[in-house]
Structure 1
Amino acid sequence: MGAVTSVPFQDDMHVVIVGGGYGGAYLTTLLRNKNFCKVTVIDPKDSMIHCVAALRACVQKGYAKKVFVPLKEIAGDSFVRGKAAKIDHENKTVILESGVKITYTHLVIATGTVSPFPGKIVSTHPNVSIEEGIKVYDDFVDEIAKSNHVVCVGGGPVGVELAGEIKTEFPTHEVTLIQSKNYLGSEKLKTDVKEAIVTGLEELGVKIMFGEHVQNMNELSLNKSMQGQVVKTESGKGIVADLVISCVGNRTNTDFCKDVFGSSLTDSGQLQVDEFFQVKGQEGVYAIGDVTNIVEEKLCYVAKYHAEYLTENWIADASDSKRKPYVPGDFMMLVPLGRNGGTGQVKGFTLGNVMVKYLKSKDLFSSKVWGDVGLKPPKT
Structure 2
Amino acid sequence: MNTEIEYLKNIAEEIAANQNKKPLTKPDKHLQVEAKRLEQAITVKLHTIDNFTQRETFYHNILSKLVIIADILFDISDNINPDVRLLLNLLDAVRRIVPSEVSPKLQLPKAFIHDQKQIVIDSWKDQEQRLKIQNVDSKLIEVAAIPFSRFATTKHKLYWRDFIWLKGYEEKLENLDWENADCASPDEALMSMLIGIDFNDDRFFIFCKKYIKTRLDRHHLKKRRLAELAECEKLILQDTQNEQPTYNHRRHDISFKLISWIKKESDAIKLNEALDEDMFKIEFNWDVDTIALFWKYLMEHGVTKMVNIEVYAKQIAATCSSKGKVEFKWETIKGRFYGKDQKYLKKIYDPLTSVIEDIRRFLR
TM-score (norm 1): 0.20
More helix by share: 2
More strand by share: 1
Q: Point out which structure has higher relative CO (alpha carbons under 8 A, 6+ apart).
A: 1
TM-score (norm 2): 0.21
